[in-house]
Structure 1
C-alpha cells in the first residue's frame, strides 16, 4: 500500500476537518470560484473546499488518496443535494484517467503538498489545467510559529527518522521550491504568485480537547503518539501539544478553541 494512503486512512480526518469548514468556505470565495467553472480539488479530504465551490455553481471533482475520505465526501455532497460535486480516489502524483487540459482551476489546500514526488505533482496539476486556467495551492510553511507547522514539527521530533529519499511536505511552503517544481512543468516564474494567508481552526471544545482530536484522528499525530508510547514519552508529547494549542488559542470562551494558522497561498497561471 502507498504509505500516504495508509497515513490518511489511519485516522478519521473528517473529525479535524470539522474545525476547518468556515475558513474553507472563505478561501473558496476569495479565489473567485463561480458558476460554470470545472474545478479539480486535489487532496480534497471530505470536501472542505469542494462543497463550497459546488455551492457557488462550479462543477467539482474531488480526488483524494484515502478511500474513507472519498466516501465521506460523496456522502456530504449527497446530503447537501450537490449533484455537481463528486469524489473519487486518486494519487496527486499520478492522475491517470484525468485528461489533459480539462479543468479551469485546480485547487489543493493542504492536500497535494503531502503527496510524494513533488515534481510529478506539479507536472500533473499543470497537465490537467486548461490554457488560461489556474492552479491554487495552500501549503503549510516550514518552521512557521503558527499551529500546523508546529504540530508537524513537534510530531516529527517524537517519530523515527523518515525513510531515505523522503521529501518533506513542508518543502511546498518554500517559494523557491514551488518555482522550481512548476518551472520543471513549463511554468515561468512570472506566472507564479505568492501571498501569506491565514486559516483559522474553530473547534467546539477546549484546546486540550482539540489536541485529543488530533491524537485520535490525525494520521501524522497518531503516528507520533505511537512512536512516543514505545519510548515512554507520550505524556511529554501530549503536554507539549497542549501548551502549543493553549498558547495559540484566541477564543475568549473556555469551551471553544479558535486558532489562526499562517500558510502560503500559491497561484499559478497556466497559459
Structure 2
C-alpha cells in the first residue's frame, strides 16, 4: 500500500476533523465563493472545507488518498443534502483523472502538504486550475510554537529517522520553498502571496480527551506512540503531549478545549 494512504487510513481522522468545523467554515467564508464556482478540495479529508464551500453555492469535488475519508465525506454530503459536493480517491502528486484547467479554485487545507513529491503536487495543482483561477493552501509552519507544528515536532523526536529522500510536509510552511515549487510549475513569483492565519481546534472535552483522540485516531501521533512503546518511552511521549495540549488551551472552562494553531496561507493566482 502507498505509505501515505496507509498513514491516513490508519486511524479515523474524522474524530480530529470534528474539532475543526468552525474554523473550516470561517476560512471558507474568506474564499469569495460565488454560485457555480468549480472547486477542487485536495486532501479534503471528510469535507471540513468542501462542505462549507458547497453550502455557499460552489460545485465541489473533494479528492483524498484515504478511502475511509472519501466514504465519510460522501456520507456527510448526502446527509446534508448537498448534491453539488462529491468525493473521490486520488493522489495529490498525480491527478491523472482530472482534466487541465478544469477548476476555478483549487483548495488544500492541511492536505496536499502531506503528499510526497511536492514539486509534482504544485505542478498538478497549477495544471488543473484554469487561467484566471486561484490556488489556496493552508500549511503548518515548521518550528511554529503553536499546537500542530509542536505535535509534529514532539512526535518526530520519538520516531525513527525518516528515509534520506524524505521531504518533510512542513516545508510547505516555508515561503521560499513554496515559491520554488510553484515557479517551477510555471507561476510567476509575483502571483504568490502569503499570510499567517489561525485555525482553532474546539472540543467540548478537556485537553486530555482531545489528546486521547490524537493518540487513537491521528496517524502521525499513532505512529509516534507505537515507536515510543517499542523503546519504553510511551509514558514520556504522553507527558510531553499532555503538557503541550494543556499549555495551549485557551478555553475558560477546564472541561472544554480551544487551542489556536498558526498556519501559512498561500494564495496563487493563475495567469
TM over 0.5: yes
1:2-28, Cα deviation, whole Å (9 max, x unpaired):
100000000000000000000000000
| Structure 2 residue ranges without an equivalent (≥5) | none
Report SS of the residue matched to 1:158: coil
1:167-210, Cα deviation, whole Å (9 max, x unpaired):
00000000000000000000011000000000000011001111
* 1:32 positional shift: 1.1
Other-structure match for 2:54: 54
* Counterpart check, 1:270 vs 2:246: no
Q: Is contact 1:199–1:262 with CA below 8 Å preserved after alignment?
A: yes
Report SS of the residue matched to 2:47: coil
Whole-angstrom CA distance in 2 between matches of 1:35 and 1:51: 14
1:56-100, Cα deviation, whole Å (9 max, x unpaired):
000000000000000000000000000000000000000011000
1:26-52, Cα deviation, whole Å (9 max, x unpaired):
000012122110000000000000000
Whole-angstrom CA distance in 2 between matches of 1:21 and 1:33: 18
Whole-angstrom CA distance in 2 between matches of 1:43 and 1:55: 19
Whole-angstrom CA distance in 2 between matches of 1:120 and 1:185: 8
Any residues of structure 2 matched to 1:129-148 within 5 Å, and which?
129-148=129-148
Report SS of the residue matched to 2:182: helix
Superposed CA RMSD in Å reads: 0.4
Aligned length: 271
Any residues of structure 2 matched to 1:106-185 within 5 Å, and which?
106-185=106-185
Structure 1: which 4+ aligned runs deviate by more than 3 Å?
none
Q: Is contact 1:34–1:53 with CA below 8 Å preserved after alignment?
A: no
* 1:115 positional shift: 0.2
Structure 1 length normalisation: TM-score?
A: 1.00
